[in-house]
């Protein structure tokens, strides 16, 4: 079995979580080992860094360096060993989120992000990225219904419009890796889109 690395992206409130669980079940039914993980986080050190990034005030450079430090630890201790065993790794956010949130959202230098990406990932890229795309106003309504906001979720509508644009730019740079899902549709319809994307790949 070849390990596969699948990432889930989108602005806060896009509805990734339920579909990650559904995709996990779909893969397990096919007999695959599945590892579900998230960023920032996914290893003991990276989870500690997550707490800082999500809750302590800091500038965009500190934020970016902590996120990439967490990512390196996560890759070394969680993602790479699982891929080497032949598992499918489902990761709730990865480097596209850094380009979208820190880059497009916060205005951080994209060239510096590309340099950090190359250093930290050493060529590792997701095999598939599912981008849950929906208008920021709709995402804000969904967020308001379920939980208190963290540092990113409390940003305004213009911030999330920039983040969305950041995802669109990442997709334009790697169209074969990305699948854009219309996350404004109801849950069953979004799941149908995911199944369709999965069925087009002979990996599972
Ligand atoms: P999220 O997966 O939305 O966590 P939860 O569903 O528990 O709220 O991710 C947490 C936040 O981290 C989210 O608002 C986006 C932000 N984030 C970045 O700003 N940059 C990154 O590189 C990553 C991975 C996440």
Average pLDDT, the chain: 96
Tokens of 39: 């960023």
Decide if pLDDT at 196 tops 90.
Answer: yes
- 74 Cα–ligand 1 center, Å: 15
Average pLDDT over residues 82-105: 98
Q: Where are the alpha helices (DSSP H) in 122-156?
A: 136-146
Residue 110 in tokens = 């994209």
- Residue 105 backbone zone (phi > 0: left; psi -120 to 50: alpha; other: beta): alpha
Residue 150 has pLDDT above 90, yes or no: no
The model's confidence at residue 42, banded by pLDDT at 50, 70 and 90, is: very high
Per-residue pLDDT for 155 more than 90?
no
CA–CA dist 104, 43 (Å, integer): 27
Res. 58: pLDDT tops 90: yes
CA distance 27 to 48: 29
Cβ atoms of 121 and 67 closer than 8 Å = no
Q: Measure the CA–CA gap between 13 and 48, rounded to whole angstroms.
A: 23
Q: Is the CB of 75 under 6 A from ligand 1?
A: no
Residue 78: pLDDT above 90? yes
pTM of the model: 0.96
Is residue 12 within 6 Å of ligand 1 at its C-beta? yes
Cα four-point dihedral sign 80, 50, 141, 105: negative
In short, whether 9's Cβ falls inside 6 Å of ligand 1 is: no
Region 153-157: mean pLDDT is 85
Residue 201 · residue 30 · CB < 8 Å: no
**pLDDT above 90 for 156:** no
* CB distance 90 to 78 below 8 Å: no
In this prediction, residues 122-143 reach a mean pLDDT of 96
Give me the domains of the chain, ranges plus CATH numbers. Answer: 4-199 (3.40.50.300)
């Amino acid at each position: 079995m070849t390990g596969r690395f699948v990432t889930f992206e989108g602005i806060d409130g896009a509805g990734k979580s339920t579909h990650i669980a559904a995709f996990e079940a779909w893969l397990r039914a096919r007999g695959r080992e599945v590892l579900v993980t998230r960023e920032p986080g996914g290893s003991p050190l990276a989870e500690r860094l997550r707490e800082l990034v999500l809750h302590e005030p800091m500038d965009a450079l500190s934020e970016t360096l902590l996120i990439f430090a967490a990512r390196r630890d996560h890759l070394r201790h969680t993602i790479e060993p699982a891929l080497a065993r032949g598992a499918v790794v489902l990761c709730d956010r990865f480097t596209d989120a850094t380009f979208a949130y820190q880059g497009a959202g916060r205005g951080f230098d994209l060239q510096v992000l590309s340099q950090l990406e190359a250093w930290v990932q050493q060529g590792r890229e997701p095999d598939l990225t599912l981008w849950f795309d929906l208008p920021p106003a709709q995402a804000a309504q969904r967020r308001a219904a379920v939980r208190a906001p963290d540092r990113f979720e409390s940003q305004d509508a213009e911030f999330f419009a920039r983040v969305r644009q950041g995802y669109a730019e990442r997709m334009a740079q790697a169209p074969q890796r990305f699948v854009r899902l219309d996350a404004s549709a109801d849950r069953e319809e979004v799941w149908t889109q995911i199944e369709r994307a999965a069925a087009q790949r002979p990996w599972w």
